Amino acid sequence: MARIIDERGRLFGRVSLVDLLVGLVLVVAVVMAVRAYRLVPAGRPPTTWIAVTVFAPDVLKEVEQMMTSHREERNLDGEVIARVERIVQREPTRKLELGKDGSVRAVEDNRSHNLLFRLGILAQREADGLFYKSRKVKAGIEIIFEPAEYSVTGKIVAVERPGSARREGG
């Protein structure tokens, strides 16, 4: 009957027992590393493009003109994170003026418009919804669109969910 471990420490006279243990430890380590890699989420959550409609009051006409030529906002990595799709509606800003007789009337301000525009944004998918610049995307929240050349602040009035015609807000 053959001995299982010979006098030189080899298993069945062929494989060193130490080599076998080292090999088993390596296999177990690789399996554990693969499982750990699958459990750890990627560095950045998945993203999706969605469209939001934004109301921005009192936007200077010069800024409105820039919105048609400088349409993209980029993050520090140079990735486009927002894009003006189109200006939906514009109306002159009105200011109140006191008349000589003490009456108050609304007068158009020729320097600015109230804008309603559609903005495509790269939103991050989280367990509790979609986020843009660390804020949950929903009707009523303030959003700041800031390409290098200008900045526009407004409120989201409608959100179009990806893959759906359903809109939030009104």
Question: Among candidates 42, 38, 54, which has minimal Cα distance to 125?
Answer: 42
Tell me the pLDDT tens digit for each residue of 40-88: 655 677 899 999 999 999 999 999 999 988 899 999 989 999 999 999 9
168 or 74, greater pLDDT? 74
Q: Is 119 exposed, middle or buried (0-12, 13-18, 19+ CB in 10 A)?
A: buried
Please state the rounded mean pLDDT for residues 28-32: 89
pTM: 0.65
**DSSP conformational letter for 163:** T
142 or 96, greater pLDDT? 142
Q: Which pLDDT score is estimated for 2? A: 59
Q: Which pLDDT score is estimated for 166? A: 38
Residue 168 reports pLDDT greater than 60 = no
